[in-house]
């Protein structure tokens, strides 16, 4: 299945490599035929556009969970702070306006349900089975484990769990995504399908 995206994906702010985005597209195209997809950590919508474009093709739906206040590394004075996404009036980082603009420009508003909340809040009364969960939220240990515990249990048998920024070597990057990747495998509920760059794709058995 060839990829045809509705916008210039390279113009969208984000940290997802092209090969990883293409893998998410194909994964969402397969999974959305069996139920809803969900991502944690939308930022400005790069991963959302990859996944929702596939959902649109399959008449599926993507829930996009993000509080849009940024992770630790996005705050003022931190390595990945972007002043264009800082709300001077509120004195807070806010990526939601940019996210909405990008999703509208991609004509994907009917296939994306933004949930502006943390994982813990969004998942509190969640009951919808999910065919795909993509975790790319906060990279602190607490945030990553919370994301995993909130959403992995809602994945249907045969559904997928995708985790971004997996670095087995601590010299290459933070360890929190790798920790939840190991937790998923140790649970015996998930098996590894493939690794695409730093994107781990697992299937619920």
Catalytic residue annotation: 139
Phi-psi region of 117 (alpha: psi -120 to 50; beta: other; left: phi over 0): beta
Q: Tell me which residue of 145, 204, 203, 146 sits closest to 178, measured CA to CA.
A: 145
Q: Rounded distance, CA 184 to CA 99, Å?
A: 29
Q: Rounded distance, CA 196 to CA 192, Å?
A: 11
Asked if residue 28 lies in contact with residue 159, where contact means CB atoms within 8 angstroms, the answer is no
Burial class (CB in 10 A: 0-12, 13-18, 19+), 1: exposed
* Strand intervals (E) in 41-97: 62-65, 86-87, 92-93
Rg (CA), the chain: 16
Tokens 């809040």 sit at which residue?
Answer: 121
Phi, psi of 30 (to 5 degrees): -70, -45
């Amino acid at each position: 299945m060839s990829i045809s995206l509705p916008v210039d994906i390279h113009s969208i702010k984000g940290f997802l490599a092209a090969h990883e985005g293409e893998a998410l597209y194909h994964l969402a195209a397969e999974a959305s035929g069996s139920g809803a997809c969900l991502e944690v950590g939308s930022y400005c919508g790069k991963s959302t556009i990859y996944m929702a474009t596939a959902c649109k093709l399959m008449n599926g739906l993507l829930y996009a969970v993000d509080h849009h206040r940024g992770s630790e590394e996005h705050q003022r004075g931190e390595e990945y702070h972007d002043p264009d996404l800082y709300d001077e009036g509120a004195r807070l980082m806010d990526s939601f306006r940019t996210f909405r603009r990008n999703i509208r420009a991609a004509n994907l508003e009917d296939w994306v349900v933004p949930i502006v909340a943390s994982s813990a809040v969004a998942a509190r009364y969640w009951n919808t089975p999910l065919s795909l969960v993509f975790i790319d939220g906060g990279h602190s240990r607490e945030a990553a484990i919370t994301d995993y515990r909130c959403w992995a249990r809602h994945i249907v048998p045969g559904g997928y769990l995708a985790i971004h920024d997996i670095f087995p070597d601590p010299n290459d990057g933070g360890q929190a995504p790798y920790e939840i990747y190991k937790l998923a495998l140790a649970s015996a509920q998930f098996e590894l399908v493939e690794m695409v760059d730093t994107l781990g794709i697992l299937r619920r058995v």
